[in-house]
């Protein structure tokens, strides 16, 4: 995977959180419901919109099933089974170096010495 593809995949906060969650688990395996819950919890902290926990969970799960998981699977990052709910990390080595970039502040202003 080239750098542009990696940045495109990681441009979305939910996809970054999915990859990070899988990398943090010892077995690199989880379920769609567990990922949905984790992402919904993170969204609750980020959201300014009042939304019930159930609605947030369902919206998050739909996004995972119809967008994020297929996109990551198409790039060989993970495999998932929508029927039984399993999600397995396959190969995120190309993405790992970029996961912390959004947490780093970069200044492009000239420095006065």
pLDDT in tens, the chain (113 residues): 888 898 899 989 899 999 988 988 888 789 999 999 999 888 777 666 666 778 888 999 999 999 999 999 999 999 999 999 999 999 988 888 888 754 433 333 444 44
Cβ neighbours for 78, distance < 8 A, ≥ 6 positions apart: 18, 19, 22, 69, 72, 87, 88, 89, 90, 92
The whole-number pLDDT of residue 53 equals 77
3-99 topology per CATH: Arc Repressor Mutant, subunit A (1.10.10)
Q: Locate tokens 């395996």: which residue?
A: 29
Q: Number of H helices and number of E strands within the chain?
A: 5, 3
Q: Residue 33: how many CB atoms within 10 A of its CB? A: 13
């Amino acid at each position: 995977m080239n750098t542009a593809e990696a940045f495109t995949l990681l441009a979305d906060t939910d996809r970054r959180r999915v990859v990070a969650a899988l990398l943090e688990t010892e077995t690199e395996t989880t379920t769609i419901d567990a990922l949905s819950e984790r992402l919904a919890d993170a969204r609750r902290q980020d959201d300014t919109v009042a939304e019930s926990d159930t609605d947030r969970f369902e919206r998050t799960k739909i996004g995972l099933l119809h967008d994020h998981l297929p996109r990551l699977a198409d790039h060989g990052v993970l495999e998932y089974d929508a029927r039984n709910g399993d999600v397995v990390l396959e190969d995120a080595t190309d993405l790992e170096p970029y996961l912390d970039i959004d947490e780093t502040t970069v200044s492009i202003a000239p420095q006065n010495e």
